[in-house]
């Protein structure tokens, strides 16, 4: 019965975070402190940093899979915690940038514009979907339900990797249009 109570508690937290995080990001994304009259400097130095963190997250995810396949569970656990920390750091910097800077419009034309928006939209949609998947996967490991953890990780990993890699691609595609 104790395991069931722990799972219920975690499930409520997972649902709450899976709703609150995207809503908070969407809400804060629309808040520009400078336009509200606050004297803040645009944090225009952040995009290459958070894009690098996305790239680092992708490397960590791959390294974590290699570690677990080589039966290095402690290393796998540490790499996954670091990947989660990187994703949280990315999110904080992303929101901070958008709260202090004007949005950048993609300037590409023709087919590349459609490629960019396809990558961007799939990145955004999957970044919302990945939140509960990461949390569920993490909780299954935390509660030592390793069979369930492994099963959901097979879904979580490729989606999270896609989100991390496309975050870098989106940055590389839009970076020529940033105003400094």
Phi, psi of 75 (to 5 degrees): -65, -45
Q: Given pLDDT bands bounded at 50, 70 and 90, which one contains residue 35?
A: confident
Tell me how far CA of residue 87 lies from CA of 37, 60, 63, 116, 166, in angstroms. Answer: 30, 11, 16, 22, 13
* Residue 103: predicted pLDDT: 85
pLDDT of residue 5: 77
The percentage of residues in the chain with a pLDDT greater than 90, rounded to a whole number, is 85
Structural element, H or E, at residue 138: helix 111-142
DSSP 39-65: -----TTHHHHHHHHHHHHHHHHHHHH
Q: Are 139 and 74 in contact (CB under 8 A)?
A: no
Report residue 180's pLDDT band, with 50, 70 and 90 as the boundaries.
Answer: low
Q: Is pLDDT at 136 greater than 80 in this prediction? A: yes
10's CB contacts (< 8 A; 6+ apart) are 139, 142, 143
Question: Residues 141-164: what's their mean pLDDT?
Answer: 97
Cα-flanking dihedrals φ and ψ of residue 144, to 5°? 60, 35
- pLDDT at residue 8 greater than cutoff 90: no
* Selected residue with higher pLDDT from 3 and 97: 97
pLDDT value at residue 6 = 80
State pLDDT tens for residues 43-81: 999 999 999 999 999 999 999 999 999 999 999 999 999
pLDDT > 60? residue 1: no
Q: What is the pLDDT of residues 72-100, one digit of tens each?
A: 999 999 999 999 999 999 999 999 999 99
Give Cα separations from 109 to 73, 114, 173 (angstroms).
47, 8, 12
CA-nearest of 168, 153, 172, 177 to 65 is 153
């Amino acid at each position: 019965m104790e395991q069931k109570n722990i799972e219920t508690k975690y499930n409520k937290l997972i649902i709450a975070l899976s709703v609150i995080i995207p809503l908070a990001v969407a809400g804060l994304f629309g808040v520009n402190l400078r336009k509200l009259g606050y004297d803040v400097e645009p944090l225009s130095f952040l995009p290459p940093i958070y894009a690098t963190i996305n790239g680092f997250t992708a490397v960590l995810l791959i390294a974590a899979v290699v570690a677990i396949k080589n039966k290095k569970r402690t290393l796998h656990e540490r790499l996954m915690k670091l990947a989660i920390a990187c994703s949280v750091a990315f999110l904080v910097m992303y929101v901070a940038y958008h709260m202090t800077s004007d949005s950048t419009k993609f300037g590409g034309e023709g087919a590349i514009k459609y490629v960019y928006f396809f990558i961007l939209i799939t990145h955004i949609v999957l970044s919302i979907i990945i939140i509960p998947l990461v949390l569920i996967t993490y909780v299954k490991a935390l509660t030592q339900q390793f069979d369930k953890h492994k099963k959901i990780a097979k879904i979580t990993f490729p989606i999270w990797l896609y989100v991390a890699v496309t975050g870098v691609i989106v940055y590389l595609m839009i970076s020529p249009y940033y105003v400094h």
